[in-house]
Each structure stands twice: as structure tokens, then as C-alpha cells.
């Protein structure tokens, strides 16, 4: 906690809520994040939300939102359509909690962009809908309730990326990369002559 306090003192970039960090609480964290964005972060045009095990290409993300028509009207990422509601395993959901075979469309939680314009409606929906065990599906429910549309782009890589470092130069987000590999990728991308 001393390191957290030091980080907050120096950079004012720590958000801390009173619940245990766990996979089961990711949707609760999503709700708290939307509340904070709605009340405290009104000066930004776009918010990137991602996991800690991914390569993020800031230059490509900025270029993407500048070149995408009506970027401020959609949520952007890797759109999951007709995703099955699993009845077993890590992502098990009971039929009592969710009786349908598939989930509504949602963006993969690995990394996506939300326009500031969407935050009030998403936050309002989060106050009305109960949290759902999976944060990306939960955001899909919120987007549906808020009548927000999605923009899919294949450069939001959900399941990693196999290939040359040049492919990372053109990627927006690549999910599922261990820290030591991230450092290696970042170094190569910065030095790369790829177009």
C-alpha cells in the first residue's frame, strides 16, 4: 500500500475501491469505473480500457479514431457475436442466471475504446442493471440498454498474434502477452522500419 500511496501522490493516477480484486469482481470494477468516468473524467474524447497482459499501440489507436467515421458514436474493439453461454468450466453461467443460449453482442474485454459521449448512457444503464459475472458480457448488456452501437476492427487481436514484429506495428491491441515478451515487442516496434 505504501507504493500505491506514493504513486497516487506523485501522479494522481490510482483509483481504489473497497472490494477484493478478483475475477468475480471485474463487473463491479467496470461499474465503478463508469461512475468515475462519468463524474471525474469529462475532458477526454476517448477512453481506452484494457487488460495488463497486452500490447497496446498508442500511435495506431490515435490514428484509428481520427480516421474512423463517426468514431465518437460507437464502442470500438473486437466484436463478439453469438458467443455461447457456457454451462461448465471457468466461464460457467447457470441457466437460472442466464437462460439463453447466446449472449448479446459485446466487445472482447481484452481491450477496447469508448467515446466520452457514450459514458453517461453506459453509467445510467449500470445503475439500472445488476452486475453480471463477466465484465465484457456485462458491458454488452449495458451497451444494449444504452442503445450504443459497435465498430469491429480485426486489429484488436483477442487471442494473441503470431507473426513478425511488423504485424505489431499495425496492430491496435494484442491480448495475452507475458510482460517479458511485451518489453521485447515494444523494443522491436520502436526500432522497426515497417510501414
pLDDT of residue 195: 62
Q: What angle do CA 60, 118, 111 make, to 5 degrees?
A: 40
pTM of the prediction?
Answer: 0.90
Task: Collect the ranges in the chain with pLDDT lower than 50.
Answer: none
Classify domain 2-191 at the CATH class level.
alpha beta
- How far is residue 190's CA from residue 32's CA, in Å, rounded to a whole number? 35
What's the pLDDT tens digit per position in 104-116?
Answer: 999 998 899 999 9
Task: List the beta strands (DSSP E) in 51-190.
Answer: 54-56, 74-77, 79-80, 106-107, 111-115, 149-152, 156-157, 173-175
The tally of CA atoms less than 13 A away on the side-chain side of residue 154 is 2
pLDDT of residue 93: 95
Ranges of each domain in the chain:
2-191
Amino acid at each position: 500500500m505504501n507504493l500505491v500511496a506514493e504513486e497516487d501522490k506523485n501522479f494522481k493516477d490510482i483509483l481504489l475501491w473497497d472490494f477484493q480484486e478478483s475475477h468475480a469482481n471485474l463487473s463491479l470494477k467496470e461499474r465503478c469505473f463508469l461512475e468515475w468516468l462519468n463524474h471525474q473524467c469529462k475532458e477526454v474524447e476517448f477512453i481506452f480500457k484494457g487488460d495488463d497482459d497486452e500490447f497496446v499501440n498508442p500511435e495506431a489507436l490515435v490514428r484509428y479514431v481520427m480516421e474512423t467515421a463517426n468514431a465518437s458514436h460507437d464502442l470500438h474493439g473486437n466484436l463478439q457475436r453469438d458467443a455461447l453461454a457456457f454451462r461448465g468450466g471457468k466461464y460457467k453461467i447457470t441457466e437460472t442466471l442466464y437462460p439463453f443460449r447466446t449472449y448479446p453482442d459485446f466487445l472482447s474485454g481484452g481491450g477496447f475504446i469508448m467515446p466520452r459521449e457514450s459514458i453517461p448512457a453506459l453509467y445510467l444503464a449500470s445503475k439500472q442493471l445488476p452486475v453480471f459475472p463477466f465484465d465484457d458480457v456485462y458491458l454488452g448488456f449495458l451497451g444494449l440498454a444504452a442503445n450504443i452501437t459497435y465498430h469491429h476492427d480485426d486489429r484488436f487481436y483477442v487471442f494473441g498474434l503470431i507473426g513478425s514484429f511488423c504485424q505489431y506495428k499495425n496492430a491496435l491491441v494484442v491480448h495475452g502477452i507475458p510482460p517479458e515478451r511485451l518489453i521485447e515487442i515494444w523494443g522491436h516496434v520502436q526500432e522497426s522500419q515497417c510501414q
